[in-house]
Chain A
Amino acid sequence: FYLTPPQVNSILKANEYSFKVPEFDGKNVSSVLGFDSNQLPANAPIEDRRSAATCLQTRGMLLGVFDGHAGCACAQAVSERLFYYIAVSLLPHETLLEIENAVESGRALLPILQWHKHPNDYFSKEASKLYFNSLRTYWQELIDLNSGETTDVREALINAFKRLDNDISLEAQVGDPNSFLNYLVLRVAFSGATACVAHVDGVDLHIANTGDSRAMLGVQEEDGSWSAVNLSYDHNAQNEHEVERVKMEHPKSEEKSLVKQDRLLGLLMPFRAFGDVKFKWSIELQKRVIESGPDQLNDNEYTKFIPPNYHTPPYLTAEPEVIHHKLRPQDKFLVLATDGLWETMHRHDVARIVGEYLTGVHHQQPIAVGGYKVTLGQMHGLLTERRARISSVFEDQNAATHLIRHAVGNNEFGTVDHERLSKMLSLPEELARMYRDDITIIVVQFNSHVIGAYQNEE
């Protein structure tokens, strides 16, 4: 079975999306030029989600990737809801009041977010009312709390993450009279999702991460070369601090059973996640909800299964780790990606490939013969190879697609091998998951001129 290059391209490009930020959005000159995003499924259906939106009532842009497990329900819900929670957390008191009054009197609501969605990125219509009511309760509480202080982005992010996870949990406990919705909220709660979200406002970049997706900054050094700076820590067994944290939160007696085979309780790869109430609720609560739940839930062996050595829940949290970074002119782009990418590529390669893609080929070191002994044939070979590298750049109009092409098709020499690409993409559904994971990538490109100007102002 062999895919032709156009067939490969149509697979790779099926989910690609690009957004270019208008130079002046009415409030400020944006430090973001735009972003490219793309997804390549390995699961069917894909369990990864992605979101991007511009905050309309505050400044800034939100971008996030969400890696679901045990189904896509939780990732889907988080991708729809999280940014609203963040945006609301960032809103000043007056705006919250205004919004609440509008809802109260049935007037048109101020728009909070402008979404930048690929046609395949959907929102569930059925749950929108339910989701909205939960969100409204959140902002009503915020209004009552009125701290009077200006909102700190870090806190807003943490609060939004925790609140949404809490709402997911509550909605599942309360249930819904509509059986479809009832089943939906349960599926959301019993599946899980990691989240890696960026908030960019001027030179202030905040990354809130829960789980093992990753944010990476692409930095161009003075000599033109590319380096990578991590802006998130993976919450998994490879992260000593994370293992330490989990162990601190539970009695010493559980120390041995907490992390087994690099998994939480021997089951879960990410150490933080949305949903996954099986790692959060008490055994009694789990049993009660499942028993009163619909038959489909009862039939599902996975949901009924209680993790072994389950003594002191919760074992899992959705609280993110937030990293703040002041953007500098040499910070050219940000890559948010689910672990499907990072499993196959080192971040330095990611930085180089995206960097060279975004700057075009002009930065490819020029060849000089100088005093060397080079024959026409050798030179010809060298040039042909360089052209091949360039042409794979030009095939893609989207940095995320370009990265996926490398992630899936790279041979041992770090160049895209069409045969390999063709093989990897033509794997049957059931085999695909063995060779690769879902990959979701967002590449945000920064405007160095604007960032430079901000810097000078300060």
Chain B
Amino acid sequence: VARMFLRLLSDIQWRAAHSKWRRMTSSQRSTSTTAEPHPVSLPAQAQVVICGGGIMGTSVAYHLSKMGWKDIVLLEQGRLAAGTTRFCAGIVSTARPVSIELKMAHYSNKLYQQLEQETGVQTGYMKTGSISLAQTQDRLISLKRIASSLNVMGIPCEIISPKKVVQLHPLINIHDLVGAMYVPEDALVSSANVSLALATAASWNGVQIHERTSVSHVTVQKGRVTGVETDRGRIQCEYFVNCAGQWAYELGHSGEEPVHIPLHACEHFYLLTHPLKEPLSSSLPTVVDPDGRIYIRNWQGGILSGGFEKNPKPLFTEGRNQLEIQNLQEDWDHFGPLLSALLRRMPDLEALQIMQLVNCPESFTPDMRCIMGESPTARGYFVLAGMNSAGISYGGGAGKYLAEWMVNGYPSENVWPLDLKRFGTLQSSRTFLRHRVMEVMPLMCDLKVPRWDFQTGRQLRTSPLYDRLDAQGARWMEKHGFERVKYFVPPGKDLLDLDHSKTFYKPDWFDIVGSEVKCCKEAVCVIDMSSFTKFEISSTGDQALESLQYLFSNDLDVPVGHVVHTGMLNEKGGYENDCSIARLSKRSFFMISPTDQQVHCWAWLRKRLPDDSNLVMEDVTWKYTALNLIGPRAVDVLSELSYAPMTAEHFPSLFCKEMSVGYANGIRVMSITHTGEPGFVLYIPIEYALHVYNEVMNMGQKYGIRNAGYYALRSLRIEKFFAFWGQDLDAFTTPMECGREFQVKLEKGMQFLGQEALLEQKQNGVYKRFTMFILEDHDTDMDLWPWWGEPIFRNGRYVGKTTSSAYSYTLKRHVCLGFVHHFDEKTGEELVVTTDFINQGEYEIDIAGQRFQAKAKLYPFSSLFTQRRRKDEAELSGYQRE
């Protein structure tokens, strides 16, 4: 083992010639912490302190220094690239299902390719390509979906037959394969050397690198980072970047003001062998066999093969720090199933001699996506960690986006799926993380079908009606820890069990949701929507109104009792949040936004609201249960329960009133449904929730009331062309681009955030346009269903991707929503998208490589709104135009 360790070390080319930092440390290869003289003392202050000298820390340092920030100190508790980075398998793979991750990996690949030339450090970069194997048709579908999105990004990629697989890699046993995906430009690197190369380039650019320096904690004053305490003294700084890998959680919790970074380490095993008799070529492609849960790459004439087992071993739950990752124990019994998979895939390797089983912990996050961004509580505290074992693939791109974020205030791509603020304290429990990562690690290889959900760490946040709904057949999904109903299985009807209900085709709940939708259209349904984020903002004087008028694009100076749909826009006019705000009184507002906005929206407002003790913002999410009564008979149910007239004359659309329902008083009733259907949302103080629910269900019986879930809601809102934040809308989408000019009051008499950008768009036009597509030749029973992220083709050319989709039970067709761009045919330059451009194209949607004709629409079907109602048009996005 000792020899092995040295061998790994010798992979690293220590280029003394160029490295400044090389001189700062003793050359002795001791892993102990024993004090050695530190020839260079730490600076007393710096603009940025980066903690962690792995691939993430060095990549951030590299990119920051490239962007012109020079006053940077990088601290590493052991030696550079000595943690997870050293033991990383070094596979750069772009085949990622999430688009932002794909972009990061693509950029990383390009960066590493030229890194050796730039720095002179040998990175071992070798373009080998990769083959992802499919043992089942379902797996092949998921590969085809990835292939579609790689192709439209210009990354070469093809679906190949098993025969072609053998041509690419002679050792592979193909008898159980149905196909494969080949990505010829994927690469191998020595990850430690990449990290050292990045560090070298960074140090040329002025970054100071100090090894053997541990950060004990970060000091924060008045919500801003002020400095870093280390075992070698204090450094004052404006920015701190936590790139501490699996120790990031602990480091985040070490300060007085904890920064919650939900990640947890699991042991990860891979095998190294001696060379084959005829050593494997170093250009042989990497093989990924997700059904066998393994990956196999060539390594020094032999192979390196690891995987993601079904029963992972989480570790360091209690948090045990250690300087560098020593080789943890080899556990052959644990590796057994993966070894079986390896020998099944490459039977000729039986006689190959084992060199070592490496155990190197990797950190995993609750949703399988990495963590990046600024802390919601401590400004200047940035995080980049939790790579879910894809650190080398993401390293370059992730470092770039974080550097952009720090320098420009925002990254150049929508990184919300990776934003630290998608999590809150609720994902920070060690028990939760331990259980969740045990599910996440096997999921790396599991087949992910549309609307899959996590099974662990559930029932954390629930509505007070949870048990009632569950007893009535509710099936649940989770968002931000909150249990939400998907649909209700009627008594006597059995659905397939979880494993069998996994499908890319028509799901087993199709008819169930259909009848819920029908009930919403014809009678009335109740959906528990308690998970929505709810804030109250009030002030003694006009501060609340003034501040909100600046922070929101619509005009909030409406009469008391009115509800306003508005975007919370950034400087570029993009949606940071999309909410409904009710004016409760002259000086107080009730704000409803999507569930996963709880942390982000709070931080956004906190940062921008004036520091005024007379202006109070409170998170009241937990105080109210929300019942959405959707359907034409909602009005009857409610008026019977409240003895108050609820008709349009008394209770117009987009109106909010406190009233009594049953015995319970003080129920906030709003005439919105988030679907475009008539109805009301009741915001009920939680202790009344059960009472009001019972009353509504009892009274509703004669109107045919029933429970419904979010799948019905989604079908309704998508056929009405309603965009949802987080699905369709993001920080890079403006109201102008999604037909919501009517929610922007450019002339409301005062400045607001994003106004300039919107004015410019209004004058010059938009570069993408939110469009609704109705699939024409799609057979709901036989064809693959769309999900989201499907490429859109106009006249045969790629113009954008879908963002959400649903079956419309009214149209009896699939509806996809997505953005259409206009790329110049020659230069690829983005051009203005006009209404004519949209209307004059022939469209196709690509579902896993198969294209379906689609009709594009910029406005919803008016024929759907047979129950014409009053002012509802205002709620129907895009219907009422300026």
Residues facing B in A312-337 (CB within 8 A) are: none
B336 touches A377 (CB 8 A): no
B353 touches A373 (CB 8 A): yes
A375-B332 contact given A370-B1, A380-B340, CB 8 Å threshold:
no
Residues in A with CB closer than 8 Å to B340 are: 380, 383-384
Can you name the residue of chain B whose Cβ is closest to the Cβ of A369? B354
Apart from A361-B333, A369-B332, what are 18 other A-B pairs with CB-CB below 8 Å? A366-B330, A367-B330, A369-B357, A373-B353, A374-B353, A375-B350, A375-B354, A376-B273, A376-B339, A376-B352, A376-B354, A379-B332, A379-B339, A379-B354, A380-B339, A383-B335, A383-B340, A387-B333
In whole angstroms, what is the CA distance A235 to B121 when docked?
82
B333 touches A374 (CB 8 A): no
Residues in A with CB closer than 8 Å to B329 are: 366
Closest 7 CB pairs of A and B: A377-B350, A383-B336, A367-B332, A374-B354, A376-B352, A375-B351, A376-B349
Residue A146 CB within 8 A of the other chain:
no
Residue B413 CB within 8 A of the other chain:
no
Residue A434 CB within 8 A of the other chain:
no
Can you name the residue of chain B whose Cβ is closest to the Cβ of A377? B350
Residues in A with CB closer than 8 Å to B353 are: 373-376
B343 touches A377 (CB 8 A): yes
Residue A386 CB within 8 A of the other chain:
yes
Among A368, A375, A377, A380, point to the contact of B330 (Cβ < 8 A).
Answer: A368
Residues facing B in A345-393 (CB within 8 A) are: 361, 364, 366-370, 373-377, 379-380, 382-384, 386-387
In whole angstroms, what is the CA distance A387 to B349 when docked?
21
Among B331, B342, B356, point to the contact of A376 (Cβ < 8 A).
Answer: B342
Residues in B with CB closer than 8 Å to A383 are: 332-333, 335-336, 339-340
Residues in B with CB closer than 8 Å to A382 are: 332
Distance from B489 Cβ to chain A, minimum over Cβ atoms (Å):
32
A380-B350 contact given A369-B357, A370-B1, CB 8 Å threshold:
yes
A377-B351 contact given A366-B332, A387-B333, CB 8 Å threshold:
yes
A386 touches B333 (CB 8 A): yes
In whole angstroms, what is the CA distance A309 to B351 when docked?
72
In whole angstroms, what is the CA distance A447 to B860 when docked?
71
In whole angstroms, what is the CA distance A369 to B273 when docked?
12
Residues in B with CB closer than 8 Å to A361 are: 333
Residues in A with CB closer than 8 Å to B333 are: 361, 364, 366-367, 383, 386-387
In whole angstroms, what is the CA distance A377 to B331 when docked?
17
Distance from A371 Cβ to chain B, minimum over Cβ atoms (Å):
8
In whole angstroms, what is the CA distance A249 to B427 when docked?
79
| Contact mask for chain B residues 341-364; partner A; CB cutoff 8 A; 1 contact, 0 none | 011000001111110110000000
Distance from B267 Cβ to chain A, minimum over Cβ atoms (Å):
14
A369-B343 contact given A379-B354, A387-B336, CB 8 Å threshold:
no
A366 touches B331 (CB 8 A): yes
In whole angstroms, what is the CA distance A373 to B354 when docked?
7
In whole angstroms, what is the CA distance A110 to B349 when docked?
72
In whole angstroms, what is the CA distance A374 to B354 when docked?
6
In whole angstroms, what is the CA distance A367 to B353 when docked?
16
A369 touches B356 (CB 8 A): yes
In whole angstroms, what is the CA distance A379 to B342 when docked?
12
The tally of residues in B whose CB lies under 8 Å from a CB in A reads: 22
Residues in A with CB closer than 8 Å to B349 are: 376
A380 touches B357 (CB 8 A): no
B343 touches A376 (CB 8 A): yes
In whole angstroms, what is the CA distance A148 to B333 when docked?
62
In whole angstroms, what is the CA distance A376 to B342 when docked?
9
Residues facing A in B345-395 (CB within 8 A) are: 349-354, 356-357
Residues in B with CB closer than 8 Å to A380 are: 336, 339-340, 343, 350
Can you name the residue of chain B whose Cβ is closest to the Cβ of A364? B333
Residues in B with CB closer than 8 Å to A375 are: 350-354
Distance from B508 Cβ to chain A, minimum over Cβ atoms (Å):
30
In whole angstroms, what is the CA distance A366 to B331 when docked?
7
Distance from A456 Cβ to chain B, minimum over Cβ atoms (Å):
28
| Contact mask for chain B residues 465-480; partner A; CB cutoff 8 A; 1 contact, 0 none | 0000000000000000
Can you name the residue of chain B whose Cβ is closest to the Cβ of A367? B332
Distance from B303 Cβ to chain A, minimum over Cβ atoms (Å):
9
Distance from B836 Cβ to chain A, minimum over Cβ atoms (Å):
64
Among B330, B339, B342, point to the contact of A369 (Cβ < 8 A).
Answer: B330
Distance from B374 Cβ to chain A, minimum over Cβ atoms (Å):
44
Residues in A with CB closer than 8 Å to B351 are: 375-377
Residues facing A in B1-40 (CB within 8 A) are: 1
Residues in A with CB closer than 8 Å to B1 are: 370
Contacts A/B (CB < 8 Å), 11 sampled:
A367-B333, A369-B357, A374-B354, A375-B350, A375-B352, A375-B354, A376-B342, A380-B339, A382-B332, A383-B335, A384-B340
Can you name the residue of chain A whose Cβ is closest to the Cβ of B331? A366
Residues in A with CB closer than 8 Å to B354 are: 369, 374-376, 379
Distance from B867 Cβ to chain A, minimum over Cβ atoms (Å):
60
Residues in A with CB closer than 8 Å to B350 are: 375-377, 380
Distance from A113 Cβ to chain B, minimum over Cβ atoms (Å):
43
Residues in A with CB closer than 8 Å to B356 are: 369
Residues facing B in A394-442 (CB within 8 A) are: none
Can you name the residue of chain A whose Cβ is closest to the Cβ of B2? A371
Residues in B with CB closer than 8 Å to A376 are: 271, 273, 339, 342-343, 349-354
Distance from A147 Cβ to chain B, minimum over Cβ atoms (Å):
58
> Which of B332, B339, B350 has most chain A Cβ within 10 Å?
B332
Residues in B with CB closer than 8 Å to A367 are: 330, 332-333
Residues in A with CB closer than 8 Å to B336 are: 380, 383-384, 386-387
Can you name the residue of chain A whose Cβ is closest to the Cβ of B342? A376
Residues in B with CB closer than 8 Å to A364 are: 333
> Which of B330, B336, B340, B356 has most chain A Cβ within 10 Å?
B336
In whole angstroms, what is the CA distance A43 to B369 when docked?
64
Can you name the residue of chain B whose Cβ is closest to the Cβ of A368? B330
Residues facing B in A221-264 (CB within 8 A) are: none
In whole angstroms, what is the CA distance A47 to B273 when docked?
59
Distance from B386 Cβ to chain A, minimum over Cβ atoms (Å):
30
In whole angstroms, what is the CA distance A382 to B271 when docked?
16
In whole angstroms, what is the CA distance A368 to B273 when docked?
15
Residues in B with CB closer than 8 Å to A379 are: 332, 339, 354
> Which of B273, B329, B330, B353 has most chain A Cβ within 10 Å?
B353
Distance from A359 Cβ to chain B, minimum over Cβ atoms (Å):
15
Residues in B with CB closer than 8 Å to A384 are: 336, 340
Can you name the residue of chain A whose Cβ is closest to the Cβ of B336? A383
Distance from B633 Cβ to chain A, minimum over Cβ atoms (Å):
55
> Which of B1, B335, B352, B354 has most chain A Cβ within 10 Å?
B354
Residues in A with CB closer than 8 Å to B330 are: 366-369
> Which of A369, A370, A384 has most chain B Cβ within 10 Å?
A369
> Which of A364, A380, A384 has most chain B Cβ within 10 Å?
A380
Residues in B with CB closer than 8 Å to A368 are: 330
In whole angstroms, what is the CA distance A238 to B342 when docked?
55
In whole angstroms, what is the CA distance A373 to B355 when docked?
8
Residues in B with CB closer than 8 Å to A386 are: 333, 336
Distance from A360 Cβ to chain B, minimum over Cβ atoms (Å):
12
Distance from A457 Cβ to chain B, minimum over Cβ atoms (Å):
32
Residues in A with CB closer than 8 Å to B331 are: 366
Residues in B with CB closer than 8 Å to A387 are: 333, 336
Can you name the residue of chain B whose Cβ is closest to the Cβ of A386? B333
Distance from B334 Cβ to chain A, minimum over Cβ atoms (Å):
10
Distance from A51 Cβ to chain B, minimum over Cβ atoms (Å):
40
In whole angstroms, what is the CA distance A384 to B332 when docked?
11
Distance from A90 Cβ to chain B, minimum over Cβ atoms (Å):
47
Residues in B with CB closer than 8 Å to A377 are: 343, 350-351
Residues in A with CB closer than 8 Å to B342 are: 376
In whole angstroms, what is the CA distance A386 to B331 when docked?
13
In whole angstroms, what is the CA distance A379 to B353 when docked?
10
Can you name the residue of chain A whose Cβ is closest to the Cβ of B274? A373
Distance from A391 Cβ to chain B, minimum over Cβ atoms (Å):
12
Residues in A with CB closer than 8 Å to B273 are: 376
In whole angstroms, what is the CA distance A81 to B419 when docked?
73
